[in-house]
Homo-oligomer: A and B are copies of this chain.
Amino acid sequence: MAKNVGIVAIDIYFPPTCVQQEALEAHDGASKGKYTIGLGQDCMAFCTEVEDVISMSLTVVSSLLEKYGIDPKQIGRLEVGSETVIDKSKSIKTFLMQLFETCGNSDIEGVDSSNACYGGTAALFNCVNWVESNSWDGRYGLVVCTDSAVYAEGPARPTGGAAAIALLIGPDAPIAFESKLRGSHMAHAYDFYKPNLASEYPVVDGKLSQTCYLMAVDACYKHFCQKYEKFEKQQFSVADADYFVFHSPYNKLVQKSFARLLFNDFLKDASSIDETSKEKLAPFANLTGDESYQSRDLEKASQQVAKPFYDAKVQPTTLIPKQVGNMYTASLYAAFISLVHNKHSSLAGQRAVLFSYGSGLTATMFSLKFNEGKSPFSLSNIATVMSVDKKLKSRHEFAPEKFVETMHLMEKRYGAKDFVTSKDCSLLAPGTYYLTEVDTMYRRFYAKKDKDGAIENGMVANGH
């Protein structure tokens, strides 16, 4: 049986087009700091008319295969997590099969997994389980998280974002699953959903969604701690992991969520809570669950208690989510990539606990352990390949007016047929795929900007 199964390589792509949250605040007439401090967000990426979840996933998969020197024949499973629906039947995975056609590899299992922002985690678990199962054939799994998060004008709009992430899965991984340490919480809720099929925008109950998220944090942490105590024969507290990585709709919710873990530690009298902290949290010891989610005083006190832990164990994970925005299925893994980017030289031997959340709702807390790994699958090479700094620095800032104009165009284009795009790929990096046309039968055509900036190849809409 395969051992130390986990993530052996990673790549990330996000659109080079973005808008500053500070500029958006001013444009929207919001109070100063509402998006930057209130939400804790710096900048937001978005797709223009030449990009979508399919083009982004084509870009990131071809980039990962090329940069790590992976023969496409070595992929035996490919799964996509996404909540951005372009077609209600044909999976994004089938679009990606175009990348494997030239080498004649069609024997690749896996389809798309979906439940809001959780689909990528489901795809990841499925790929890891496959490598550990009897049906594994010795090849790599590949997980793709790809989403474009856009909201109607209003308070949720600054919580958008867009990205695609590819994770290569195999044995002897530098980022290995501690598979027994996992707690899930799944329930029926209407906190965020997309019932208006013709619109790309979700229906969101912001307050309910935040409560659902925090309740899921609590329930998953409880299940996770129970599993840890069962297998490790000792209590778990935030002291037992080096990093905590959260799905990040906006940074403020990550701050609140991590503080909940400390409050949970306090309630079970864990070693992470010193005497001073105990005193600060004592007034809240007898709140009911519901009261605890509503109490602003508890929120302040627990965030104060959490602060030193947050700075050490969470802050290194926040770079990309703050700079790119909510990436739905890619959000948690963008936070994780931020950690690898910031700390790759010191991660070996350390543990990261991840919290994945998808509205509706599905949530899991799980554990990963690092080792240095061997090139090309070493932590340092993964950080080099991902080039996070370079990608962030080479972006193009749009003025809010131009961002809003783009959103208007995208509203018309969503679900539409019979149009050609501008085909303007001047802002895209070489190697980026982009949408050129949707024909009268809704078939989508993409091209790739080559190394010299010209079109490398037009991709046929239909493989036959």
Contacts and interface: CB of A to CB of B under 8 A. Distances in A.
Interface of A: 1, 5, 83, 85-91, 93-95, 97-98, 101, 106-116, 118-119, 122, 125-126, 128-130, 132-135, 177, 179-180, 182-190, 192-198, 202-203, 208, 211-212, 219, 223, 358-362, 364, 415, 417, 441-443, 461-464
A110 B122 contact: yes
Contact of A88 (B83, B133, B417): B83
B111 A113 contact: yes
A463 to B, nearest CB: 4
A464 B188 CA distance: 8
Query: Lowest 8 CB-CB distances: which A-B pairs, in order?
Result: A195-B442, A90-B360, A91-B115, A88-B194, A134-B179, A129-B133, A135-B179, A111-B115
Contacts of A462: 188-190
A433 to B, nearest CB: 13
B118 A111 contact: yes
Contacts of A128: 133, 135
A432 B182 CA distance: 34
B362 A91 contact: yes
Contacts of A198: 197-198, 415
From A85, A111, A182, name the one whose CB has the most chain B CB atoms within 10 angstroms: A111
Contacts of A94: 115, 186-189, 360-362
A203 B417 CA distance: 13
A444 to B, nearest CB: 9
Contacts of A464: 189, 208, 211-212
A214 to B, nearest CB: 12
Contacts of A129: 126, 129-130, 132-133, 135
Contact of A122 (B5, B111, B417): B111
Contact of A135 (B177, B186, B190): B177
Nearest to A78: B186
Contacts of A208: 464
30 contacts: A87-B195, A88-B88, A88-B194, A89-B192, A89-B193, A89-B202, A90-B190, A91-B115, A93-B186, A94-B362, A95-B188, A109-B125, A111-B113, A111-B119, A111-B362, A112-B114, A113-B114, A126-B126, A128-B133, A129-B129, A134-B180, A135-B180, A190-B443, A190-B461, A190-B462, A195-B442, A197-B197, A197-B198, A198-B198, A208-B464
A192 B88 CA distance: 11
A119 B114 CA distance: 11
Given A94-B361, A111-B358, A188 B463 contact: yes
A86 B197 CA distance: 8
